[in-house]
Structure 1
Amino acid sequence: MLPKLSVITIVYNNAAAIERTMLSVLNQSYKNIEYIVIDGASTDGTLTIVKQYEKRLAKLISEKDKGIYDAMNKGLAQASGDYVLFMNSGDEIYELDTVEKIFATSPNADIYYGETEMYDENWNSLGRRRHQAPDTFNWRSFKYGMSISHQAIYVKRSLTEPYDLQYKYSSDIDWIIKIAKKASNIVNTHLYVAKYLVGGMSKQKHRESLKERFKIFSHYYGFVANVINHVVIAFNLGFYFLKHRRTND
């Protein structure tokens, strides 16, 4: 029997993009999908758009929440599938047969993962993420940065637990590491599996996100090792921008 996939979409005031995200899920060739939408009490017409597809949803919740990870926890609590995927508003499953292709790569994996393509606000492709998905992945793989985006990882629901709400911006990193530590069969699909809308996070939130990431990485990898790893991250980042500046000159 085909495994059941719970796809969870979190949305708040994103009428411009929510339908595009929803159709990338609802029109999948893979039929054993449970689709859950968690709306944070939107006021811009988002809910009107979502309700056009309500009959095709397993669950729709629209209420105020305490932030994105609180909303994601609400979705996780509703999920009953064998696997869970978070595909938040603005992002897309890569192609309409992507889920079918993923589950065809290998049976009964604990985690399936793939590559992500970035898009700007006008939905123009920016190419692959700077952090390429690693050939092999385990809980230590994030030591030089988040090499897999949460849109590109399908996880066995039995390995999941609620997101830690002490982290406001980077709890998805903590969540994936926890799952990866429990996983014994992690499959690289070698596919592009998600399209990611590049967000406009403020500098203040970006700084807070980096502080949280440092705290999470120190917890799992050790403080001294994490400092050394961040020197490598800074070097790689500088080399990346220097290389691309020369390419663009």
Structure 2
Amino acid sequence: MKVSIITVCYNSEDTIERTILSVSNQTYKNLEYIVIDGNSKDETLSIIKNNSSRISKWISEPDIGLYDAMNKGIAMATGDLIGVLNSDDTFNTPTIIEEIVNFHKYNNVDAIVGDIIQHKEDGEIVRLYSSKYWNPEKLKIGFMPPHPSIFFKKELFEKFGYYDLGFKIGADYELITRFFLKNHISWKYSGITTTAMLIGGLSSSGFSSYKLITKEIQKALNMNGVEFTASKIKMRFFWKVIGFLKK
């Protein structure tokens, strides 16, 4: 089984080499690594070129945002499974892809859903973001599994479409809604902590971001014909707190 990993980057000189090395250090070798750079203005491109032997395919050109770049990577991918590794994140251990492939051998599903850890610059772990208690019905109240923990079959993108560029930060939510709720793909929770994510990403940067993603969650559900209660989505932070206290 071939696995494609896609990294999208822009002005990522501080972190991109660490990300590249976490892929090249994977024990599983039938691995295609694709890097999509958005025409960076810092030293990112030099770092990519210096590590080109560790990368299967890469391009550097202007794009119209994160999801446009991700779509380019998916179009270039030739693997059976596709995963995303952000340019300031790393795989949690060198055996992650091997674990994912072994899990898939015994659970031939459309998507594998796992966990990630979130950490500060100094490496301090601040959160385990787990999919253990997640199911697609929770999309209706604003909860999605951690996007970097999901490995999709490549064929899903050909059947059901790529990331919708009409979203600023919620195209991953819309795609997951389209795949899991509208088209009822098969999936299973792996229990694998796939990714170590540096906190402070595009969709985790304050109240204004919270308001925007709330709006885009509702847009995603509406687009896919999913009935929901807007007030539950707006109050999803409190449901998370209540769920944490119950655990």
Q: TM-score surpassing 0.5?
A: yes
2:233 is aligned, of 219, 230, 233, to 230
Residues 13-52 of structure 1 mapped to structure 2, 5 A cutoff: 13-52=11-50
- What is the one-letter code of the residue matched to 1:4? K
Q: Matches of 2:109 and 2:146 in 1, distance apart?
A: 18
Q: Matches of 1:207 and 1:126 in 2, distance apart?
A: 23
Q: Is the 8 A contact 2:6 2:83 kept in 1?
A: yes
Offset of 1:218 from its aligned partner?
Answer: 3.8
- What is the one-letter code of the residue matched to 1:198? I
Q: Matches of 1:48 and 1:235 in 2, distance apart?
A: 44
1:9 aligns to what SS in structure 2?
A: strand
Q: Matches of 1:228 and 1:168 in 2, distance apart?
A: 22
Question: Are residue 57 (structure 1) and residue 55 (structure 2) matched?
Answer: yes
Task: Give the 3 Å change call, closer, same or farther, for CA 64–156 of structure 1 in structure 2.
Answer: same
- What is the one-letter code of the residue matched to 1:149? P
Instruction: Provide Cα deviations, 1:32-75, integer angstroms capped at 9, x if missing partner.
Output: 11000001111110111111111232211101110101111111
Instruction: Provide Cα deviations, 1:74-102, integer angstroms capped at 9, x if missing partner.
Output: 11111111111111111112110011112
1:192: which partner in 2?
193
Quote the RMSD (CA, aligned, Å).
Answer: 2.2
Q: Is the 8 A contact 1:143 1:221 kept in 2?
A: no
Q: Is the 8 A contact 2:177 2:221 kept in 1?
A: no
Which has the larger displacement, 47-56 or 229-238? 229-238
1:122 aligns to what SS in structure 2?
A: coil
TM-score, structure 2 as length reference: 0.86
Count residues in correspondence: 236
Unaligned runs of 5+ in 1: 244-249
Which has the larger displacement, 207-216 or 194-203? 194-203
Q: Matches of 1:202 and 1:12 in 2, distance apart?
A: 21
Offset of 1:213 from its aligned partner?
Answer: 1.4
TM-score, structure 1 as length reference: 0.85
Task: Give the 3 Å change call, closer, same or farther, for CA 17–115 of structure 1 in structure 2.
Answer: same
Question: Are residue 210 (structure 1) and residue 214 (structure 2) matched?
Answer: yes
Offset of 1:153 from its aligned partner?
Answer: 0.1
Q: Identity, % of aligned pairs?
A: 33
Q: Matches of 1:126 and 1:98 in 2, distance apart?
A: 21
Q: Is the 8 A contact 2:11 2:41 kept in 1?
A: yes
Q: Matches of 1:147 and 1:222 in 2, distance apart?
A: 14
Which has the larger displacement, 167-176 or 184-193? 184-193
Q: Is the 8 A contact 2:117 2:196 kept in 1?
A: yes
- What is the one-letter code of the residue matched to 1:36? I
Unaligned runs of 5+ in 2: none
Instruction: Provide Cα deviations, 1:134-183, integer angstroms capped at 9, x if missing partner.
Output: 44634x33223333111100000100122101111110111122222445
- What is the one-letter code of the residue matched to 1:155? F
